Amino acid sequence: MAVLLAGGRGARLAPYTAVFPKPLVPIGDMPVADILVRQLAAAGFDEICFCAGHLAELLEAYFMSHPLRGRGVRFRWVREGEPLGTAGPLRLVEDLPERFLVLNGDLLTTLDFGAFFDRHVESGADLTIAVQRHQHRTQLGVVRHEGDRVTGYEEKPSFSFDVSMGVYAYSRACIETIPAGLKFDFPDLVGALLERGRDVRIVLSGDTWLDIGNPEDYSEAQRLFQEDPGRFLGRCR
């Protein structure tokens, strides 16, 4: 089972999101959520639950007539009355399996969801986060020091850090950590799990990944998808 988080208002993508929920914002000639759903089905996920909020009725109407419904893929819907953050909506989903995939509904990626999920199952972790390594080069000279004594100087160094791709594999035991009916974001969940000594892991990915909620990434997503749709849909039916 996969859960698609689709409740955000997408303020950074206005004016598109004034008339569409963010997951229906187009990449080429397809809504980004349609690309994700096809990728999930190709990876073997035959049940997809949408946690929807802003303009949820448009999202539901779009997928009610989706061709995958006639090919063994079932869609479920959970509506947030009030925004519950990036982890809170999971408390609304009934009959969660022992392990399941969760992803943000506003990303474009070539990540193999099935292989990522298998890594989670094999590890036995409570929660696994797909991450990507980013490099950042500062345009300033960095002074290293202890007190007022300089120990080093580096001109325009690069720093690397690992960022969440918005794709997660959960074990059902995580859900008891999420308070019912309250806004609860993913960083809150990770902190609560670590406080309880639970097993939280990462899978480092070198795949293409773009957060289309960011206008710059949205433009790049458009370019990459229109240049080669098969890069993202090659395994899809």
Where does the pLDDT of residue 171 fall: very low under 50, low under 70, confident under 90, or very high at 90 and above?
very high
At 16, the pLDDT band (50, 70, 90 cuts) reads low
Mean of all residue pLDDT scores within the chain: 90
Q: Tell whether the model's pLDDT for residue 26 goes beyond 60.
A: yes
- Dump pLDDT digits (tens) for 50-68: 998 877 888 899 998 888 9
Tally of domains in the chain: 1
Q: Is residue 16 a part of any domain in this protein?
A: yes
Q: At 132, is the pLDDT very low, low, confident or very high (cuts 50, 70, 90)?
A: very high
The answer to whether position 73 is within a domain reads yes
In a domain, 151, yes or no: no
Decide if pLDDT at 37 tops 80: yes
The answer to whether 79 and 53 are in contact (CB under 8 A) is: yes
Mean pLDDT of 191-200: 97
Q: What is the pTM of this model?
A: 0.89
- pLDDT for 72: 87
For residue 34, tell me if it sits in a domain: yes
Q: If you average pLDDT over residues 188-207, what whole number do you get?
A: 97
pLDDT the model gives residue 15:
52
Assess if residue 158 is contained within a domain.
no
Could you tell me if residue 11 is inside a domain? Answer: yes
167 CB-near residues (< 8 Å, 6+ apart): 101, 102, 103, 104, 107, 109, 111, 113, 116, 129, 130
Spatial CA neighbour of 134 closest among 108, 167, 97, 165:
165
Q: Which residue range(s) make up the domain with 192?
A: 2-131+164-233
Residue 186's identity, in one-letter code, is F
Instruction: Give the domain CATH number at 225.
Output: 3.90.550.10
